[in-house]
Structure 1
């Protein structure tokens, strides 16, 4: 406790006014980790819809798209979604404003969206030979 009070007193006695610190731009204005205006939103409630997601993120700029990813079979939310803005600056404001906030009673996390990875095409299963047996192409011996 004494350590913090001595620091507070030293800062109060210093000749630098607090307004100098407040006028400094934030670090995020110099350096943004976003390379695209698309954000990944995780931790969504299973009851969150596209409309609720759009409503929550609309305050930070012009939304291009707000999409909750759903299960094909049940149609329910998988617990994550994507939000796309017109500019990277709007996306950065939304990321700072909505990260670790509550939406539909759940804490959500907002991160930059990663580009979709290309999946290799599915390999076709080898056709059985005339005898009905498949050949094993394992090389080596497994004692």
Structure 2
């Protein structure tokens, strides 16, 4: 289910598809695709950024998000063998307010030619604790 929602969100955010819809219709379609079964995100000073180009660097990520507040740390997660981006990363802001501005400014925007998505990062479960059902469904793709 989460995979389908992500696909619908990406489809609606692409410029060619979104330009065919009027703004109110696009908003209504995005709201319907998101569904109401997803809990509201818990605000955090750290953002999870997905949809990154494999050539996006940590420096480029830091530079792009620093327009919206004081970035304490940015990290693009890379593949050990190739050194290229795995397609996601994290941005830590000084305050939660700056993180909110970062989401507003960069969510569904282009970075290095790709549409990226920014959302509040979910905290990791403590070591030894079983992952939640939501974590399982996101990792398995069901």
Alignment of 1:1-143 (within 5 A): 33-120=41-128
Q: Which runs of 4+ in 1 moved over 6 A?
A: none
- How big is the shift at 1:39? 0.3
Distance (Å, rounded) in 1 between the aligned partners of 2:128 and 2:84 = 28
* Long gaps (5+) in structure 2: 1-39, 130-142
Answer 1 or 2: higher relative contact order, Cα 8 Å, separation at least 6.
Answer: 2
Flag structure 1 segments of 5+ consecutive residues without an equivalent: 1-31, 122-143
TM-aligned CA distance change 1:79 to 1:60, over 3 Å: same
- Greater fraction of residues in helix: 2
Q: Distance in 1 between matches of 2:113 and 2:90?
A: 19
Instruction: State the Cα distance separating 1:88 from its structure 2 match.
Output: 0.4
Query: What is the alpha-carbon distance in structure 1 between the residues aligned to residue 125 and residue 83 of structure 2?
Result: 24
Deviation at 1:72, TM superposition (A): 1.6
Whether the aligned pair in 2 keeps the contact of 1:60 and 1:90 (CA below 8 Å) is yes
TM-score normalised by the chain length of structure 2: 0.59
What TM-score, normalized to structure 1?
0.59
Distance, in Å, in 2 between the alignment partners of 1:117 and 1:75 is 27
Structure label with greater radius of gyration: 1
CA distance in 2, matches of 1:117, 1:72: 24
